[in-house]
Amino acid sequence: MIKILSRVTFTVLVILFISSCKSGKNNQNNSMDNDSTGIAGRKWWKEAVVYQIYPRSFKDANGDGVGDLKGIASKLDYIKSLGVDVIWLNPIYASPNDDNGYDISDYRNIMKEFGTMDDFDSLLKGMHERGLKLVMDLVVNHSSSEHEWFRQSRISRTNPYRDYYHWWNAERGKPSARYSFFDVHNDAWKYDSPTNAYYLHYFSQKQPDLNWENPKVRREIFDMMNYWFRKGIDGFRMDVIPIISKDTSFPSMPASFHGDWGLFYYNNGGKLNDYLQEMNHEVLSKYDCMSVAEGMGVTTATAHDLVDEDRHELNMLYHFEGVGIGYLPGKFKTMDPKGYKLAEFKEVYSKWDSVFENRGWGTIYLGNHDQPRMVTRWGNDAPDWRELSSKMLTTFLLSMRATPYYFGGDELGMNNIKFDRIEDYRDIESINMYRQIRERGGDLQEFLNAQKISARDNSRTPFQWDSSVNSGFTTGSPWLKVNPNYKQVNVAAEEMDSNSCLNYFRKMVKLRKENLILVYGRYRLLDKENPDVYSYTRELNGKKWLVLLNFTTKTASANIGIDLTKAIVRIDNYPNPSTDGRLKPYEALIYELP
């Protein structure tokens, strides 16, 4: 029987299994600057709010139903109005779109559907004119099978590009098992008849893994990164970068890594840190840029190796422990019907704060293009609570001690579309997982129900600009259905309403930008066991702020023993803030304490 890989659960299990943060290393870093604020190590990327744009779904300028660069360019004033600093664009490079751009066929060209290099140049210019920085996606664990390197590589065993990828000649027998994310049979080896060999693909069959052992591959990648930096980009978000280093003898996985554990083995190639140091030396160190790893499989024990300044590797990473909370073990991305426990949520985010308390720097996110919509997953998207809970989550994200990554559309309180039928999905993950379950006679209805909460397409539906047809996203036929609630939930309507999610987001961004205490202030969790309310303080230079967040539909009390009568309310998602520690449903409050 084919075992379903439960990616999210595996990460959580692994992290629980591995003991928490190794400590003891002294901070060797002397490069931190001090300034008049007395804050050590100030950096623009620590103070930035990152706004993520899924280009396919943001704005379609030419009516073909697919978002494009001209579309994004036409909305730069909107983005600027949010108060954010950095835009992270999901991949916009040439791609046959097996995995929506995460399968790149030419790293130095723009995807035809998205436009041209001229469109890119003027988009970047438009961003910089507005003081916005651009972070691009770097997808170099794998390329597309349609990349010229792979076309060459598969022609013959002696082709100069052969060693750009991982091949296993079939006369050696079948290689030992490796698991694939998007393969119907979870098999990461694909037999290729022209050379009677298997190639490795941790993701889809059209995403062959690049061979980082080969110095020529690394050279090509570093040159390509320099090419984009010379164009003026401000950084890279690095797709699944922790899994680039492989043991190319491909031994069978140790027993402890079998099943759900298998993918963790992918992090253990041994040379990741060498490669990142080389990348830093050859590329990153030459620019005032930011770098962030998608930290798949990174644990509290290994995080410092990637991001501490004295390592000369990357600036930040984002962990997967938070987004794994509440899923049932052994089932593919299926939520526990009882929901998630706030106590666990607090524990995870407090633990990751402590990891970076003295060294390194963290990130925080509650949604992205691989996750469902923030309000559906962590708040409550029922009509009575969607706006309040969405504002409450925004308050959380923007008041933690980590660089916030905010997914476009969440500022409107956009929620999951919850498709009923597999035919509505476009994502290879949902489609191939459905096929897999059908092949082994599994429960398809159960899968579809679970997907309503967890499927990636929930966050990829077109951006909701106004109440005109297709939410003003396209004049054509959208590549993925628009959420029918666009008539109420859209930018135009929310601009008119001073209490909208959109205007709350702007207020909260402004509060963070104007008060470094929210960026750098020490974080302390209060009232840890409270199952309903998340309370914490932030402290900087003798000042203390208090954050209170009610995660439930009931009135709930924060038991913090702090007299709030003289406290100043800095933000509240209700018009009449509580003053006695009793919080209304989904109430979010930030106080400045006397």
Q: From the list ligand ISL, Ca ion, none, which binds 45 (C-beta under 5 to 8 Å, kind-based)?
A: none
**Is 251 exposed, middle or buried, given 0-12, 13-18 or 19+ CB atoms closer than 10 A?**
exposed
Contact between 544 and 530 under an 8 Å Cβ cutoff? The reply is: no
Between 450 and 526, CB nearer to ligand ISL: 450
Distance CA 261, CA 31 (A): 38
Q: Shortest Cβ distance from residue 64 to ligand ISL (Å)?
A: 22
Find the binder of ligand ISL among 239, 321, 353, 387 (CB under 6 A).
239
Give the length of the chain: 594
**Considering 119, 234, 239, 370, which one is annotated as catalytic?**
239
Q: Shortest Cβ distance from residue 64 to Ca ion (Å)?
A: 4
Between 221 and 509, CB nearer to ligand ISL: 221
Under the criterion CB under 5 A, does residue 74 sit at the interface with Ca ion? no
Find the binder of ligand ISL among 4, 5, 6, 7 (CB under 6 A).
7
Strands 316-318 and 290-294, how do they pair?
parallel
* E-only strand ranges, 67-132: 86-89, 93-94, 106-110
Q: Shortest Cβ distance from residue 446 to ligand ISL (Å)?
A: 17
Question: From residue 102 to residue 131, what is the string marking binding to ligand ISL with x (rule CB under 6 A)?
Answer: x-----------------------------
Under the criterion CB under 6 A, does residue 181 sit at the interface with ligand ISL? yes
**Considering 278, 294, 321, 572, which one is annotated as catalytic?**
294
**Is 78 exposed, middle or buried, given 0-12, 13-18 or 19+ CB atoms closer than 10 A?**
middle
Look up 239 and say whether it is catalytic. Answer: yes
Q: Which of residues 436-465 bind ligand ISL (CB under 6 A)?
A: 456
Find the binder of Ca ion among 18, 22, 29, 62 (CB under 5 A).
62
Q: How many C-beta neighbours within 10 Å does residue 565 have? A: 7
Question: From residue 346 to residue 375, what is the string marking binding to ligand ISL with x (rule CB under 6 A)?
Answer: -----------------------xx-----
Contact between 45 and 84 under an 8 Å Cβ cutoff? The reply is: no
Q: Which residues sit opposite 302 in a β-bridge? A: none
For the chain, the 3-state helix, strand and coil shares in percent, each to the nearest 5, are: 35, 15, 50
* Cβ-proximal residues to 129 (8 Å cutoff; 6+ apart), any chain: none
Distance CA 109, CA 347 (A): 43
Look up 587 and say whether it is catalytic. Answer: no
Size of the site for ligand ISL (CB under 6 A): 14
Q: From the list Ca ion, ligand ISL, none, which binds 429 (C-beta under 5 to 8 Å, kind-based)?
A: ligand ISL
H/E run at residue 548: strand 543-550
Contact between 92 and 47 under an 8 Å Cβ cutoff? The reply is: no
Coil, strand, or helix at residue 8?
helix
Find the binder of ligand ISL among 99, 113, 192, 260 (CB under 6 A).
99
Residues carrying an active site annotation: 239, 294
Rule CB under 6 A: which residues touch ligand ISL?
Answer: 7, 99, 102, 139, 181, 203, 239-240, 294, 296, 369-370, 429, 456
Rule CB under 5 A: which residues touch Ca ion?
Answer: 60, 62, 64, 66, 68
